[in-house]
Chains A and B, each alone.
Chain A
């Protein structure tokens, strides 16, 4: 039941995104511009820590931009119609899945362009991609719920950032640790604890969103 609902809502999101390609194009261009700004400012980043932190900051800002439209985009009447058709759980889960996909693609692109321009220092790319994937899920879940809150206020751009930055930090710090280990090519036995922490964090935020979203949507 819920699975079918999520499937059709997800399809709706994808079709809408495809119809309004300029929004997707906007985010992709945002990635390119941001990485290019970083490239022109740094040219080559020798210090591994700086390389890593810079990439994660880029991904953080790109994610906020990608997800912030999750609830703002739709107009009031369409939203009401949608909410009369679907359950809040279905809506939040489909939005989370869709945004996770979006953030994942966008951060992969960011990584690709970043490596091309600034150079590659990662020794264990597989593990780095794992960190990127786990981060995408967490970032998008938190940002989706926060955007549902911020969309109902007047100054949603500022609110989106100030509400989400402090609560994104547990993710960001763990991710930087894990990806830093991947860059240095540390053994899996050293890094597995970060993967577990990230997995648990993801479970926590998804469950919280699932429980709390029904209180947000009815107006």
Chain B
């Protein structure tokens, strides 16, 4: 049994996600045209993107750490974190598609936020393919870290400039009701932000389990 100071964040993560699920379904939400009750998806869909971007940022930080000392453990952490980010992204794109079908009448629409999400997934899937096409451990780590950093910076730039280039169907753009205008005077933020933190912590926990799992596998193979 570990000390509470070692695993408190896991308890917090579970508690926050649990809270987000219960409170997200039970609390009052503003009655808005088009969105109606589907606005509750904000707690489950938008939080996925936030958690994904936080995890991808973590992955880049590990890549930078790897390049500073060439410690292969950082490379593994970068890969695992990016992998979980992709998982969150896939869940986010699925929940977004369902939501879009209900509100905009199509599973996919030409919208900068959707396209930004698709590009993010394309970049990180390419990152995984790049890793798998290289055999030598240190070389793979080096190339993957460089691509991770290069692509991440361009992705952030892309996500910043894209909405300014085209109109968006998302709230707050092109005549759609904006979240921020009523967020402040109701309780949505009280569920939204904890949900982001909760999902991020769950993601980190998943990464930790994966990392330890690989450690055990390595040890087992070392004995062979």
Residues of A that sit less than 8 Å from B by CB? 142, 145-146, 149, 152-155, 159, 162-163, 165-167, 169-170, 173-174, 177, 197, 201, 204-205, 208-209, 212, 215-216, 219
Contact of B158 among A159, A170, A205, A219 (CB under 8 A): A170
The minimal Cβ–Cβ distance linking B69 to chain A, given in whole angstroms, is 12
Residues of B within 8 A of A174 (CB): 161, 165
- Let me know if A215 and B67 touch, CB within 8 A: yes
Please tell me if B108 contacts chain A, counting CB pairs below 8 Å.
no
Please tell me if B157 contacts chain A, counting CB pairs below 8 Å.
yes
CA distance A173 to B116 in the complex (A): 12
Interface residues of B, count at CB 8 A: 27
Return 22 A-B CB contacts under 8 Å, by A number: A142-B154, A149-B146, A152-B143, A153-B134, A162-B126, A165-B122, A166-B123, A166-B126, A166-B151, A167-B123, A167-B151, A167-B154, A169-B119, A169-B158, A170-B154, A170-B158, A170-B162, A197-B161, A204-B157, A215-B142, A215-B146, A216-B142
A215 with B122, Cβ < 8 A, contacts A152-B134, A167-B155, A170-B161 known: no
- Please name the 6 residue pairs, one residue from A and one from B, whose CB atoms are nearest each other, closest first: A170-B158, A166-B122, A167-B154, A162-B126, A166-B123, A153-B133
- Let me know if B130 and A153 touch, CB within 8 A: yes
The minimal Cβ–Cβ distance linking A176 to chain B, given in whole angstroms, is 9
The minimal Cβ–Cβ distance linking B40 to chain A, given in whole angstroms, is 32
Which applies to chain A's interface (DSSP): helix, strand, loop or mixed?
helix
Residues of A within 8 A of B158 (CB): 169-170
Contact of B153 among A163, A177, A208 (CB under 8 A): A208
The minimal Cβ–Cβ distance linking B163 to chain A, given in whole angstroms, is 11
Please tell me if B149 contacts chain A, counting CB pairs below 8 Å.
yes
- Let me know if B130 and A159 touch, CB within 8 A: yes
The minimal Cβ–Cβ distance linking A6 to chain B, given in whole angstroms, is 21
CA distance A155 to B134 in the complex (A): 9
Residues of B that sit less than 8 Å from A by CB? 67, 119, 122-123, 125-126, 129-130, 133-134, 139, 142-143, 145-147, 149-151, 153-155, 157-158, 161-162, 165
- Let me know if B149 and A208 touch, CB within 8 A: yes
Residues of B within 8 A of A177 (CB): 165
The minimal Cβ–Cβ distance linking B91 to chain A, given in whole angstroms, is 20
The minimal Cβ–Cβ distance linking B21 to chain A, given in whole angstroms, is 33
Contact of A154 among B133, B151, B157 (CB under 8 A): B133
The minimal Cβ–Cβ distance linking B3 to chain A, given in whole angstroms, is 38
- Let me know if B129 and A208 touch, CB within 8 A: no
CA distance A162 to B130 in the complex (A): 9
The minimal Cβ–Cβ distance linking B121 to chain A, given in whole angstroms, is 9
CA distance A114 to B123 in the complex (A): 31
- Let me know if A163 and B130 touch, CB within 8 A: yes
Contact of A201 among B145, B147, B157 (CB under 8 A): B157
The minimal Cβ–Cβ distance linking B181 to chain A, given in whole angstroms, is 27
- Let me know if B162 and A212 touch, CB within 8 A: no
A216 with B154, Cβ < 8 A, contacts A159-B130, A163-B126 known: no
The minimal Cβ–Cβ distance linking B152 to chain A, given in whole angstroms, is 10
A173 with B149, Cβ < 8 A, contacts A201-B157, A205-B154 known: no
The minimal Cβ–Cβ distance linking A203 to chain B, given in whole angstroms, is 11
A159 with B129, Cβ < 8 A, contacts A204-B157, A205-B154, A215-B67 known: yes
The minimal Cβ–Cβ distance linking B123 to chain A, given in whole angstroms, is 4
Residues of A within 8 A of B123 (CB): 166-167
Which of chain A's residues has its CB closest to B131's CB? A153
- Let me know if B165 and A149 touch, CB within 8 A: no
- Let me know if B139 and A219 touch, CB within 8 A: yes
The minimal Cβ–Cβ distance linking A187 to chain B, given in whole angstroms, is 18
Contact of A149 among B67, B130, B154 (CB under 8 A): B130
Which of chain A's residues has its CB closest to B143's CB? A149
Q: Most chain-B CB neighbours within 10 Å: which of A145, A146, A167, A212?
A: A167
A167 with B150, Cβ < 8 A, contacts A153-B130, A153-B133, A154-B133 known: yes
